[in-house]
Amino acid sequence: KGKRAFIAGVADDNGYGWAIAKSLAAAGAEILVGTWVPALNIFESSLRRGKFDDSRILPDGSLMEITKVYPLDAVFDNPEDVPEDIKANKRYAGSSNWTVQEVAESVKKDFGNIDILVHSLANGPEVIKPLLETSRRGYLAALSASSYSYVSLLKHFVPIMNPGGSSISLTYIASERIIPGYGGGMSSAKAALESDTRVLAFEAGRKHKIRVNTISAGPLRSRAAKAIGFIDMMIDYSLANAPLQKELSAEEVGNTAAFLASPLASAITGACYIR
């Protein structure tokens, strides 16, 4: 039987989440996505209006189907966590059940279980500030949205993941090497994500036979990357210095994720894949 995947962090057709969804769909998986609440309306209406149809084409010519789009804000674990100003915010008030715990409950109610969990989201409100100028609030916000969000997703989804399931996140080399410009605590957030990958691989592996890996991806001109401001420079740098002198495509990262989620990778866990 085909596998079912939940991919958190898809809000357009330019990012890694979309590319991973496509590679998993091409391999026969059913696709569910979690979309950041403030981006939900535009994503759903663009999908409906056919704006993504060209990017939905799979290698066999068919169109990727997204079975269901769930609103999600991964910085909130349950309704008690949501502050009043967010509750009252028009963009949030229009949707419901978008905290991590509620999304996992909804997926359980709708589908019973999943096999693949993908975390393809990050946010650092002070990313353009050097670490030395980052506020405590900005630093903690980066960790909350980019690192703990993964701990929380896995924690809430593991109970509905079939044994042998696979979980994947996306990280960036700024965790290990200094990349000036990747500020606001985002380098710290990626370091935490990579360390957590090893710990979570141990815990989720022992307890539920779930594999946990992360992909350290090269630079891609996504919406999030453009907001950081130096993406073209990073692409030029990779082109000049990487062993394969070509621009990385999102599809190549998608295919790495599909491999890691497949039985071909059945003994690979706790790893950081560099692509």
Stretch binding ligand NAD (CB under 6 A), from 4-12, 79-87, 157-165, 259-267: 4-12
CA distance 58 to 5: 17
Stretch binding ligand NAD (CB under 6 A), from 9-17, 82-90, 157-165, 255-263: 9-17
| By the rule CB under 6 A, 103 interacts with ligand NAD | no
CA distance 106 to 117: 15
Q: How many residues does the chain have?
A: 275
One-letter identity of residue 140: L
Question: From the list 5, 6, 7, 15, which residue makes contact with ligand NAD (rule: CB under 6 A)?
Answer: 15
Question: From the list 20, 31, 121, 143, which residue makes contact with ligand NAD (rule: CB under 6 A)?
Answer: 121
Half-sphere exposure of 128 (CA within 13 A, CB side): 8
CA distance 199 to 55: 36
Q: Nearest-CB residue to ligand NAD?
A: 15
Q: Looking at residue 75, what DSSP letter applies?
A: T
| By the rule CB under 6 A, 143 interacts with ligand NAD | no
Catalytic residues: 172, 182
| By the rule CB under 6 A, 92 interacts with ligand NAD | no
Stretch binding ligand NAD (CB under 6 A), from 14-22, 78-86, 109-117, 237-245: 14-22
CA distance 211 to 117: 10
CB of 104 to ligand NAD, least distance (A): 14
CB of 3 to ligand NAD, least distance (A): 21
- Residue 196 CA from chain centroid, whole number: 15
Stretch binding ligand NAD (CB under 6 A), from 44-52, 125-133, 214-222, 260-268: 214-222
| By the rule CB under 6 A, 9 interacts with ligand NAD | yes
Residue 30: φ, ψ to 5°: -85, 135
Contact map string, positions 50 to 79, toward ligand NAD, x by CB under 6 A: ----------------------xxxx----
Nearest to 5 by CA among 105, 110, 116, 109: 116
Structure-token pair, residue 107? 């997926």
> Which residue matches tokens 């090893």?
198
List contacts with ligand NAD (CB under 6 A): 9-11, 14-17, 36, 39, 72-75, 120-123, 145, 170-172, 217, 219-220, 222-225
